[in-house]
Amino acid sequence: MHYDAQERSPIMTSKPYGLVCPITHACDILEPRWTMPILSEMWAGATRFNDIRRGVGNISPALLSRRLKELELHGLIERVEDPASGNVDYIRTDRAVALEPALNALALWAQSNIAARQALLDADLSTFMWKMRNYFLRDQLPDRQVVIRFHFTDPDLAYDTYWALLRPGQPVEMCTDIPGFDVDLYVETSKISLASILLGRTTVSRETDAERMYLSGDAMLAKTMQRWIFVSGYAKADGLMMLDDTPN
């Protein structure tokens, strides 16, 4: 696909579907790789280029820039620049907001029809742990500094250990370097087990009983982990496919 400089409209260079079906018209806009994850990340609140890129994961700056321009030309997002600071925010338009029910339906379908291992096996751990910052329910944690060390047993990871630093009144920090504070809770697991807990496809107790997750350190933090970990609303999907009992 390229764009006419005068018309500012998309010109399809690939063979069109040749169908009248409205679904194919939507696919022309939403099919290009990374388009849906970008919209989902903006749905979650990201507006800055770097935040969108970090949340989406393995996308190059050039490709993200191209996709954002395409979405702008299709009227799905608006690029807003602050003249004073030069900062740029990307804001969803009403047309993009109207896609939320479709994105929501796709997520529910995936929860009910795609096995957890199949869905999560290729998940990028660094992107997942970046998002993990938003999965701590602060009101369920002690009102003090808490340091949680996550060690992942998956093979071939760029980083297999992350430290979550939670301090009252401050955003959660997720570090790949030792933060220099005593660790309150040690969590040893796999990305499939932890991600499945967040998606409601398993529970902390089920993973520890199956010896796919090990907790040590502060006994109360370990005992209450299911309470202070946010579980996705998609856990309520009808016919939710739970994580199988295969060892990680």
Residues with Cβ within 8 Å of residue 93, at least 6 apart in sequence:
75, 76, 77, 78
CA atoms within 13 A on the CB side of 45: 2
Give buried/exposed letters for 7-16 (b at 16+ CB in 10 A, else e).
eeeeeeeeee
| Domains of the chain: total | 2
For position 6, what pLDDT does the model report?
Answer: 36
For position 207, what pLDDT does the model report?
Answer: 97
Q: Are 190 and 150 part of one and the same domain?
A: yes
Token output for 61: 């700056």
Q: Are 164 and 211 part of one and the same domain?
A: yes
Chain-centroid distance, C-alpha 199: 11
Tally Cβ neighbours within 10 Å of residue 201.
27
Mean pLDDT, 10 residues at a time, the chain of 248 residues: 42 62 88 94 95 94 97 97 95 97 96 95 93 96 98 95 97 95 98 97 97 98 98 95 86
| Residue 245 is assigned to a structural domain of this protein | no
For position 12, what pLDDT does the model report?
Answer: 43
| Residue 191 is assigned to a structural domain of this protein | yes
CA distance 163 to 179: 7
Pairing of strands 10-11, 77-81: unpaired
Q: Are 155 and 75 part of one and the same domain?
A: no
CA distance 110 to 46: 23
| Residue 110 is assigned to a structural domain of this protein | no
Give buried/exposed letters for 126-154 (b at 16+ CB in 10 A, else e).
ebbbbbbeebbeeeebeeeebbbbbebee
For position 1, what pLDDT does the model report?
Answer: 46
CA distance 160 to 115: 24
Q: Are 85 and 125 part of one and the same domain?
A: no
Domain boundary among 98, 128, 154: 98
For position 138, what pLDDT does the model report?
Answer: 96
Q: Are 144 and 64 part of one and the same domain?
A: no
CATH number of the domain where residue 21 is located:
1.10.10.10
Show the domain range for 157. Answer: 116-236
| Residue 103 is assigned to a structural domain of this protein | no
CATH number of the domain where residue 185 is located:
3.30.1050.10
